[in-house]
Amino acid sequence: MTTTITITGAGGQIGYALLFRIAAGDLLGPDEKVRFRLLEIPQGLAAAEGAALELQDGAFGLLQHVEVTDDPAVGFDGADLALLVGARPRGPGMERADLLAANAGIFGPQGAAIAANAASGVRVTVVGNPANTNALIAAASAEGLPAERFTALTRLDENRARAQLALTLGTPVETVRRVPIWGNHSATQFPDISHATVGGEPVAAALEQIVGDVPAWLDQTFIPRVAKRGAEIIEVRGSSSVASAANAAIDHVRDWVHGTEDWTSAGVVSHGEYGVPEGLISSFPVRSVDGEWQIVEGLELSDFARGRIDASVAELVEEREAVRSLGML
């Protein structure tokens, strides 16, 4: 079988980091052939065409075809998977929500083009910021497609959280599990260690040995480090994260398609779980079962966790109001 994958913004930084890994089989495995549809705006076409030439030169056995276009109807034609990356990145001193005015206008028309042209089972992952609210806009514009098909990338935040815990504990990152992100892909996000384990044991006890006062460390060190990591990368690198973002997008889509053994994090539509208003695209602890994300339900939340989640969700509500006032919802 061949999977048709649309990547918007394929001429940009993250697009370039995604294409070659997907063509090499990192997303769907060594047996699944792929067909790329690279959607750009006119200014980005040359870069996407150049990437397409390099894909030829990669002589990837799995890669069947590459189409470069600035026409959304062509770009989303028959798409089984769509990665909506094309959007402006933020620069130093900006918050991701500052991108709403610049980027929100992209996602309504793309949602409509997906509904009109993609495969009926299409699965959409929004990477472009502010990712949660852009996914909300795309879902709202995609008549006939369930909102469950539209997700926002928060896996990068989870990967960052697990990596910071592993560094602190001096343990391999794969031993650290169950560190979900709640809320918005923004500085208000809540990386939650209350259910986290290291080598199968609760993480809190191991952390106490190293950091002493765990609640203070979470509040003053861990949570801000993870939540502001995007800004730290921008400050150090001069531009926003690229390869780690592409890596997380691959993790997210691979797990969506192939399933998960344990929890992970994704921005998915709320049906009211944990008091998150229905319809918002919020990050939750999720599992992927039979090709669908399922929110992990029934977790006990401390007052601290509840307060953090409420604050991030309040920001999502504000973003929804802002795009409503821009006439995009």
106 binds, among ligand NAD, ligand LMR, none (CB under 5 to 8 A by kind): ligand NAD
Q: Does 316 help bind ligand NAD (rule: CB under 6 A)? A: no
Angle at 70 between CA 13 and CA 84, to 5 degrees: 50
The DSSP code for 124 is E
Contact region for ligand LMR (CB under 6 A) — 52-60, 109-117, 136-144, 238-246? 238-246
Q: How far, in Å, CA of 266 to CA of 286, rounded?
A: 7
Binds 233: which of ligand LMR, ligand NAD, none (CB < 5-8 Å by kind):
ligand LMR
Q: Is 51 in the site for ligand NAD (CB under 6 A)?
A: no
From the list 136, 130, 135, the residue with the least C-alpha distance to 88 is: 130
Q: How far is the CB of 127 from ligand LMR (least distance, A)?
A: 8
Residue 85: contacted member of ligand LMR, ligand NAD, none (CB under 5 to 8 Å, by partner type): ligand NAD
**Toward ligand LMR, which CB reaches closer, 187 or 296?**
187
Provide CB contacts within 8 A for 57, sequence distance 6+: none
Contacts 24+ apart (CB under 8 A), 26-32: 26/250, 26/254, 27/250, 27/253, 27/254, 27/257, 28/3, 28/254, 28/257, 29/258, 30/62, 32/1, 32/2, 32/3, 32/62
Annotated catalytic residues are: 185
* DSSP notation for 265-297: EEEEE-SSGGGPPTT-EEEEEEEEETTEEEEPP
Nearest-CB residue for ligand NAD: 12
CB of 137 vs ligand LMR, minimal distance in Å: 17
Q: Taking CB within 5 to 8 Å according to partner kind, which of ligand LMR, ligand NAD, none is near residue 193?
A: none
DSSP one-letter code for 4: E
The verdict on 185 binding ligand NAD (CB under 6 A) reads yes
Query: How far is Cα 95 from Cα 92, in angstroms, rounded to an integer?
Result: 9
Q: Which of residues 36-75 bind ligand LMR (CB under 6 A)?
A: none
Q: Which is nearer to ligand NAD, 35 or 185 (CB)?
A: 185
Q: Does 97 bind ligand NAD (CB under 6 A)?
A: no
CB-nearer residue toward ligand LMR: 233 or 257: 233
Residues 6+ apart with CB under 8 A from 321: none
Number of residues that bind ligand LMR (CB under 6 A): 10
151 DSSP β-pair partners: 125
| Helices 155-169, 243-258: inter-axial angle, 10-degree rounding | 110
The residue (of 11 and 207) whose beta carbon lies closer to ligand NAD is 11
Angle (CA) 315-140-80 rounded to 5° is 110
* Interface with ligand LMR (CB under 6 A): 89-90, 96, 129, 156, 230, 233, 240-241, 245
* Interface with ligand NAD (CB under 6 A): 8-9, 11-15, 39-41, 43-44, 47, 85-90, 106, 127-129, 131, 153, 156, 185, 240-242, 245
